[in-house]
Amino acid sequence: MDILYSVLIDPFVQMADMPDFLLQVLWEGFVAGVLYALIALGFVLIYKASGVFNFAQGIMVVFAALTLVGLHEKGVPAYLALILTIGVMGILALTVERFVMRPLVNQPDIILLMSTIGLTYFLVGFGEFVFGGEPKQMITSQLGLPTGSSAIEIGDGGLLILQHIDIAAAVIAIIMVAVLAVFFNKTRIGRALRAVADDHQAALSVGISLNQIWAIVWFAAGIVALTTGIMWGARSDVSFALEIIAFKALPVLILGGFTSIPGAIVGGLIIGIGEKIGEIYWGPLVGGGIESWLAYMIALIFLLFRPQGLFGERIIERV
């Protein structure tokens, strides 16, 4: 009976007792969800255009952030370092398209996946070689991003603490998604990309260059990685440990579908908020630390009802 109370009643009593704390948990979950969504977006962009699950997306986050901070450490002004980093991500996109994707065109998906695993280890080694293994602090204020926090009083002495960088992360993520949506829906390249995503051969037959499209999506994924790296780096620091965070995007992808940009956003928010609520209110029942697997549990439960994910395309095959 006590167990039932602890599982079914007590967490909700706690939520009602401390509404300010509940709001804080929801806010933290929202911010984490936005960042997960950004990482997942990087995966979706590449998967949509090439059917490749880009294992290297996590290390691209680290590599982009390290390049930015590393250039600044070498005396490059922050905004110039940002522009140069965007350039580096562009060069990386072109290099990947030319030396990884193009030679492997028409190879089975598993080969392409393996190539992105190889790319991951290359970027780890290359990043450590160029920038060293020591963690670096994100140049948050130099980039004009806000620091500090504001507290909002709620109820009787309750506090909702909002970190300014988290607010900025949410705003930037929303802007980025809007820009990507316009890019994919309203521009010629965006329509070409959607055509490639629908059918490679049909796209080729109407003169769309696969190579060009691949380079563009890898570049877009690089920009998303840079944004994620800046935001997450500002929350802790820029180190190779960040790479692991990227795998938080996996349950988001399972939930939202591998091909859906809205799916990445909604999936990210569900996972972000769900894992925080779960860890805070139900975690203590089992000694805590459930966050790392709870996200997968949430995704698996959704999968039982929608195997294609929330927004994924339903696959209907005739027998």
Partner 1 sequence: MRLHTLTAGAFALALTAGAALPVQAEDSVYIQLATYRTGAFAGSGIPVANGMFDYLTMLNERDGGINGVKITLEECETGYDTQKGVECYEQAKSKGTLVFNPYSTGITLQVIPKASVDKIPVLSMAYGLSAAADGNTFPWVFNPPLTYWDGASGIIKYIGEQEGGMDKLAGKKIGYIFLDAGYGREAIPLLESMAAEYGFEMVQYPVPGKEMQNQASQWLNVRRDKPDYMVMWGWGAMNPTAVKEATKIRYPMDKFIGVWWSGGEDDARAGGMDAKGYKTLNFNGVGADYPAIQDIKKYVVDAGKSQVEPAKLGENLYNRGVMNAVLMAEAIRVAQEKTGKTVINSEDMRLGLENLNIDEARLEAIGLTGFMAPMKTSCEAHSGHHAMYVQQWNGEAWEKASDWFEPMTDKVKPLLAAAAEEYKTSNAPWPARTEPCAN
CA gap 46, 44 in Å, rounded: 6
**Nearer CB in complex with partner 1: 51/135:** 135
Who's near 136: CB < 8 A, 6+ residues apart? Answer: 66, 69, 70, 73, 237, 238, 239
Q: Which of 63, 131, 232, 311 binds partner 1 (CB under 8 A)?
A: 232
Total number of residues that touch partner 1 (CB under 8 A):
41
CB of 107 to partner 1, least distance (A): 31
Q: Which of 28, 67, 160, 216 binds partner 1 (CB under 8 A)?
A: 28
Question: Quick one: which of 62, 120, 60, 61 has its CA closest to 240?
Answer: 62
The pairing of beta strand 158-163 with beta strand 149-154: antiparallel
Q: By CB under 8 A, what part of segment 262-301 binds partner 1? A: 275-276, 279-280, 283-284, 287-289, 291-292
Q: Does position 200 bind partner 1 by CB under 8 A?
A: no
- What b/e readout covers 144-161, taking b as 16+ CB neighbours within 10 angstroms? ebeeeeeeeebeeebebe
Cβ-contact 268, 40 below 8 angstroms: yes
**Nearer CB in complex with partner 1: 228/260:** 228
Contact stretch for partner 1 (CB under 8 A) within 191-199, 216-224, 240-248, 249-257 = 240-248
State the binding string over 132-171 for partner 1 (x if CB under 8 A, else -).
xxxx-x---------x-x-----------x-x--------
Q: Does position 240 bind partner 1 by CB under 8 A?
A: yes
**Nearer CB in complex with partner 1: 87/132:** 132
**Nearer CB in complex with partner 1: 19/190:** 19
Contact stretch for partner 1 (CB under 8 A) within 131-139, 210-218, 256-264, 301-309 = 131-139
Sheet strands (E) in the chain: 149-154, 158-163
**Nearer CB in complex with partner 1: 17/317:** 17
- The pair phi, psi for residue 151, each rounded to 5°, is -120, 135
Q: 238: which strand partners?
A: 136
Cβ-contact 165, 156 below 8 angstroms: no
CA atoms within a 13 Å half-sphere pointing along the CA-CB vector of 100: 24
Binding region for partner 1 (CB under 8 A): 18, 21, 24-25, 28, 31-32, 124, 128, 132-135, 137, 147, 149, 161, 163, 232, 235-237, 239-242, 244-245, 247-248, 275-276, 279-280, 283-284, 287-289, 291-292
